[in-house]
């Protein structure tokens, strides 16, 4: 992880004092108006620029380009080194720490000071580092640089104060681990192999102390030479000259024998009583050919020889396969007596370690697991079971097991939600894994400095959903849900369905909406479907209700030339004209066949659903006149209202999920009624429908590239239009009537393309249920749906919802668009609502109750609603509230119910906002925006005088690498 500098440097942008003096400040239709005069607002502003800075929190995922592995058998802590100089420390699930060498040099080897909370790292820049792991953030205590020799191998005996360091020149140096300085004792290569020997033995590839005598050091050279060096007598006890290169050496615990692995794929066993030749040489994977010779094999890169008290010894090694078996995956071989087990790995093996019950080399080892570090994975094998199953990985190493297609972050969740979801997820473990506990169990898991639970939800290309606990310093997976189980598997010969148009990932997740309080969960899929789930601790046999919706414009809505430059088309994410795709298998089918059908088929039978999230309702958009449904662009649900809303480039749908009915299905144009501020022209249908159809439902791989194209194209179009922005702002201040007449000619002249080329539909880009004011004449807030569109317009739709529970289940909910319109520049991204004291107003919600729980007199039978009442007192609610609306380019504050624009801030002229949210920080509220140019902008509210807000901007540039 690159070291982040402080990015919010206190730069501020002054704002105009007069709230309605700016030409861009206006009322609902863009005309300046005077705000009403309610009682004074007293908002205490506490935010300052120094409250915002980017800092390191946690590094998640598999270590990139791993190089080395080490394990503390007492503390049971694992360390992984990387090519970029990083070190990852892993213990029990939740114990995860990352530290980085400032030099960035690759980590060659790791050595724990066993049970002492310290670690030695040897790096490619020939420097040794001693890390202290006993403090909150690991830090380097000492460093030692080798200037004239390159480090090749290190060895630190258990409970020893001497670190042995082998070099490329064949010399062995000894470092005092306490002072971390060279002792002056050097074992020169020419003394080790006899002074009379002129041939250099090569680099030191192995160092180990004898289990029988810690005063004896075994030195292995690359050429095949092995020397037993007496540290006290400063001479060699014996020398072995073997004609095959050595890669590793491993001792028997009694100290009378050791095993070597060689470059020809052989293993040699040596006895200290007779070192003239090995008493056993085996080629584990080499077959004897007809002429009696062994077939050539690949090198055995590492071997470990471990003894067991109640069974035969284990010999574990990597490599050694014969060369004639081309295309075989990397293997780890386990030899237990006469049985040989070959485990194939998905990626090349970087290193492995055999985990044993004791840290002492002179005791029976009792191996119980093998940790295998791969280039892109991490595997632990259980040696205590005969079939050697692997452990289910306790660390979420690969969040992109299936590509992540959307994410959602939830802070300050109910405190019981994480344990409950985790307990359900723990019951859904996969079969075939070891039943024993995860062997890397060291460290102490503690909740971080946060006092509130945080959850991240990821949606994936295969339709799966994963819940992650983000409260501590690492992500811990809580629960996994597969949305594909709701649908029947599409048949290749099923000509009545259209799943083939999304060949790659028909279940890919695009949007997530979750109410943690009620535990109701909704997802949007790429096949224009919405699935609603309820949470239950009990299994259930139930059926899934399916609602099918025709949401298609009967005519093409064309914006007049005066309005085409407001925003790029949302229905086409690339910002470009749809490109023709290869014809699908249904291209020759008549349109009548492909009408009023969904893209996927919902299971229409009783289904047994396990505990956890259980599907209750599926809403699917249908094919219309031979065209597939446009992808859903916005979603919101409210558990107190019992409603969910979805929108796309054709219009809006509101669903009552309690009564399982559709309340509203209207095109965007119909929502305005007579209040439409744009001049729209009616044109004949497109001639080339197939190109648009294929674009909307093409595979997910193309969807990714289109997103990138949209950023580039939109950024370029915004840059081109920046020169004309002053005139556009002036024109915005005029009435809708004059803007349609006067701006039409001027803006079409300034545009580089004609209105026909800039044809666009108006997409619903954001939705939010909230208690607000549907009309200026309202005196009390009522349930409303706020709708934002790609043309920068905001519609407020009031609703009448029965408050009695029995009436709510039977009486209809009334949804009545009133034509209330607010206007901004750019596509609307976010709504937020504040009370007159500047505090966030949360939407009402339903308290969770388990509908499938057995009858219990203590269990609540009725719906319990929080902050849901349309009969609030005049004193509490009559003063109105503030509505913050953020678009791709602009943010506005409106006072409700008068709909007066209190202040407007142009966030960016040269780029556009990708994501925005209003959050509470330090008991105050700020608007955070992430722009396409990589900038993060935080805007705060500062009261200058009555009803005038000053947005102080602090802008930061984030390194997007």
Confidence band, pLDDT 50/70/90 cuts, at residue 853: confident
Q: Domain ends where: 124, 143, 162?
A: 143
CATH of the domain at 72: 2.40.10.480
- Give the integer Cα–Cα distance in Å for 553 and 670: 10
Q: Domain ends where: 90, 118, 143?
A: 143
* DSSP annotation string for 641-700: TTEEEEE-SSEEEEEETTTTEEEEEEEHHHHHGGG--S-EEEEPPPS-HHHHHHHHT--H
By mean pLDDT, which of 228-242, 324-338, 834-848, 935-949 is the weakest? 935-949
Residues in CB range of 957: below 8 A, 6 or more apart:
7, 934, 935, 936
Confidence band, pLDDT 50/70/90 cuts, at residue 867: confident
CA distances from 362 to 113, 260, 359, 751 (A): 18, 18, 9, 83
Q: Are 770 and 841 in contact (CB under 8 A)?
A: yes
Predicted confidence (pLDDT) per residue in 11-33, tens digit: 222 233 333 333 333 333 333 33
Predicted confidence (pLDDT) per residue in 901-932, tens digit: 888 888 888 889 999 998 887 778 888 888 88
Specify which residues 784 forms β-bridges with.
770, 798
Residues in CB range of 742: below 8 A, 6 or more apart:
731, 734
**Residues 160-186: what's their mean pLDDT?**
95
Q: Domain ends where: 99, 128, 143?
A: 143
The edge-to-edge listing of strands for the beta sheet with 545-549 is 509-515, 520-525, 529-536, 612-621, 545-549
Instruction: Give the β-pairing of 378-382 and 404-411.
Output: unpaired
- Give the integer Cα–Cα distance in Å for 68 and 106: 9
Residues in CB range of 335: below 8 A, 6 or more apart:
284, 314, 315, 316, 317, 341
- pLDDT for 166 equals 96
**Residues 58-84: what's their mean pLDDT?**
91
Predicted confidence (pLDDT) per residue in 146-164, tens digit: 999 999 999 999 999 999 9
- pLDDT for 863 equals 80
Stated pTM of the model? 0.76
The burial class, CB within 10 Å (0-12 / 13-18 / 19+), for 369 is buried
Q: Is residue 197 part of a domain?
A: no
Specify which residues 89 forms β-bridges with.
79, 97
- What range defines the domain where residue 610 resides? 404-559+595-629
Q: Is residue 732 part of a domain?
A: no
- Give the integer Cα–Cα distance in Å for 312 and 304: 14
| Residue 198 reports pLDDT greater than 80 | no
Strand residue runs (E) in 430-519: 454-460, 464-469, 476-482, 509-515
Q: Is residue 96 part of a domain?
A: yes
Number of domains in the chain: 2
Confidence band, pLDDT 50/70/90 cuts, at residue 758: very low
Confidence band, pLDDT 50/70/90 cuts, at residue 789: very high
- Give the integer Cα–Cα distance in Å for 768 and 885: 11
Residue for token pair 């970029």: 84
Q: Is residue 520 part of a domain?
A: yes
Confidence band, pLDDT 50/70/90 cuts, at residue 203: very high
Q: Is residue 491 part of a domain?
A: yes
* DSSP annotation string for 755-773: TTTT-----EEEEEEEEE-
> Which of 790, 875, 785 shows the shortest CA–CA distance to 831?
785
By mean pLDDT, which of 5-9, 862-866, 932-936 is the weakest? 5-9
Q: Is residue 269 part of a domain?
A: no
Q: Is residue 501 part of a domain?
A: yes
Confidence band, pLDDT 50/70/90 cuts, at residue 577: very low
Q: Are 534 and 597 in contact (CB under 8 A)?
A: no
| Residue 34 reports pLDDT greater than 70 | no
What phi and psi values does residue 194 have, to the nearest 5 degrees? 100, 135
- pLDDT for 562 equals 42
Q: Is residue 434 part of a domain?
A: yes
- pLDDT for 759 equals 40
Q: Are 271 and 257 in contact (CB under 8 A)?
A: yes
Predicted confidence (pLDDT) per residue in 692-716, tens digit: 333 333 344 444 434 333 443 443 3
Question: Which has the higher per-residue pLDDT, 679 or 184?
Answer: 184
Q: Provide the mean pLDDT of the chain.
A: 78
* Residues of the chain above pLDDT 70, percent: 75
Predicted confidence (pLDDT) per residue in 441-476, tens digit: 988 765 544 567 889 999 999 999 999 988 876 778
Confidence band, pLDDT 50/70/90 cuts, at residue 961: very low
């Amino acid at each position: 992880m690159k070291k982040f500098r402080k990015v919010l440097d206190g730069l501020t942008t002054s704002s105009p004092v007069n709230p309605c003096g700016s030409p861009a400040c206006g009322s609902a239709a863009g005309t300046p108006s005077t705000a009403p005069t309610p009682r004074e607002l007293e908002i205490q502003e506490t935010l300052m620029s120094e409250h915002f800075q980017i800092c390191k929190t946690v590094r998640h995922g598999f270590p990139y380009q791993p190089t080395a592995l080490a394990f503390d058998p007492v503390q049971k802590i694992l360390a992984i080194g990387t090519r970029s100089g990083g070190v990852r420390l892993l213990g029990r699930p939740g114990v995860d720490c990352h530290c980085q060498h400032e030099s960035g040099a690759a980590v060659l080897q790791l050595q724990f000071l066993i049970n002492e909370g310290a670690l030695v790292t040897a790096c490619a820049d020939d420097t040794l580092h001693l890390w202290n792991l006993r403090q909150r953030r690991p830090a380097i205590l000492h460093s030692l640089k080798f200037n004239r020799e390159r480090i090749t191998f290190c060895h630190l005996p258990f409970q020893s104060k001497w670190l042995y360091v082998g070099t490329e020149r064949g010399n062995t140096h000894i470092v005092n681990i306490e002072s971390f300085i060279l002792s002056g004792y050097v074992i020169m290569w020419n003394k080790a192999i006899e002074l009379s020997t002129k041939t250099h033995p090569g680099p030191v590839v192995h160092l180990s102390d004898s289990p029988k005598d810690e005063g004896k050091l075994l030195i292995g050279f690359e050429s095949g030479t092995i020397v037993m060096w007496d540290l006290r007598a400063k001479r060699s006890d014996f020398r072995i000259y073997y004609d095959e290169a050595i890669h590793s050496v491993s001792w028997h615990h009694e100290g009378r024998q050791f095993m070597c692995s060689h470059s020809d794929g052989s293993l040699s066993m040596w006895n200290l009583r007779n070192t003239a030749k090995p008493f056993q040489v085996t080629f584990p994977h080499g077959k004897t050919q007809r002429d009696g010779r062994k077939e050539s094999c690949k090198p055995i890169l590492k071997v470990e020889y471990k003894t067991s008290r109640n069974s035969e010894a284990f010999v574990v090694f990597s490599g050694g396969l014969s060369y004639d078996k081309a295309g075989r995956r990397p293997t780890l071989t386990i030899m237990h007596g006469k049985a040989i087990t070959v485990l194939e790995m998905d990626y090349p093996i970087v290193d492995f370690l055999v985990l044993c019950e004791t840290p002492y080399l002179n005791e029976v080892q009792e191996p119980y697991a093998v940790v295998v570090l791969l280039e892109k994975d991490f595997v632990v094998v259980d040696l205590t079971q005969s079939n050697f199953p692997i452990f289910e990985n306790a660390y979420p190493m690969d969040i992109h097991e299936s590509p992540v297609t959307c994410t959602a972050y939830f802070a300050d969740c109910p405190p019981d939600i994480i344990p409950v979801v985790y307990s359900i997820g723990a019951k859904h473990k996969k079969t075939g894994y070891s039943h024993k506990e995860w062997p890397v169990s060291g460290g102490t898991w503690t909740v971080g400095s946060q006092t509130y639970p945080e959850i991240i939800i990821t949606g994936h290309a295969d339709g799966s959903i994963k819940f992650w606990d983000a409260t501590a310093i690492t992500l811990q997976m809580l629960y996994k849900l597969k949305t594909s189980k709701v649908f029947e598997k599409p048949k290749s010969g099923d000509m009545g369905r259209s799943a083939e148009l999304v060949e790659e990932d028909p279940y890919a997740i695009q949007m997530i909406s979750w109410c943690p309080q009620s535990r109701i969960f909704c997802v949007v899929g790429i096949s224009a479907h919405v699935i609603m789930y309820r949470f239950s601790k009990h299994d259930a046999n139930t059926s899934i209700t399916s609602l099918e919706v025709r949401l298609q414009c009967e005519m093409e809505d064309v914006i007049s030339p005066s309005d085409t430059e407001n925003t790029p088309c949302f229905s086409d994410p690339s910002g470009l004209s749809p490109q023709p795709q290869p014809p699908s298998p249904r291209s020759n089918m008549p349109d009548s066949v492909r009408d009023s059908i969904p893209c996927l088929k919902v299971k229409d039978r009783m289904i047994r659903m396990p505990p956890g999230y259980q599907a209750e309702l599926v809403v699917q958009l249908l094919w219309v006149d031979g065209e597939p449904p446009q992808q859903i662009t916005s979603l919101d649900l409210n558990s107190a209202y019992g409603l969910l809303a979805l929108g796309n480039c054709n219009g809006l749908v509101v669903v009552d999920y309690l009564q399982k009915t559709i309340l509203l299905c209207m095109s965007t144009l119909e929502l305005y009624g007579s209040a439409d501020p744009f001049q729209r022209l009616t044109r004949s249908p497109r001639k080339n429908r197939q190109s648009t159809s294929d674009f909307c439902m093409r595979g997910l791989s193309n969807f990714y590239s289109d997103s990138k194209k949209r950023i580039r194209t939109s950024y370029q179009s915004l840059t081109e239009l920046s020169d004309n922005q002053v005139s556009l702002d002036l024109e915005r201040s005029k009435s809708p009537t004059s803007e349609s007449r006067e701006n039409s000619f001027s803006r079409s002249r300034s545009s580089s393309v004609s209105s026909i080329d800039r044809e666009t539909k108006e997409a619903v880009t954001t939705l939010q249920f909230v208690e607000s004011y549907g009309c200026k004449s309202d005196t009390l807030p009522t349930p409303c749906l706020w709708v934002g569109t790609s043309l920068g317009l905001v519609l407020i739709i009031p609703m009448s919802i029965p408050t009695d529970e029995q009436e709510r289940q039977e009486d209809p909910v009334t949804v009545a668009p009133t034509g209330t319109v607010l206007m901004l520049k750019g596509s609307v991204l976010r709504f937020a609502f504040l009370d007159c004291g500047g505090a966030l107003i949360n939407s009402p919600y339903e308290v969770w109750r388990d509908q499938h729980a057995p009858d219990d007199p203590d269990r609540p039978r009725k719906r319990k609603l929080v902050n849901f009442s349309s009969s609030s007192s005049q004193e509490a609610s009559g003063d109105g509230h503030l509505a913050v609306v953020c678009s791709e380019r602009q943010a506005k504050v409106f006072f409700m119910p008068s709909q007066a624009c209190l202040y407007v801030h142009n966030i960016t002229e040269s780029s556009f906002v990708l994501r925005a949210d209003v959050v509470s920080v330090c008991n105050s509220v700020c608007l955070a925006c992430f722009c396409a140019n990589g900038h993060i902008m935080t805007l705060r509210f500062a009261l200058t005088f009555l009803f005038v807000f000053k947005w102080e901007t602090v802008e930061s540039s984030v390194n997007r690498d």
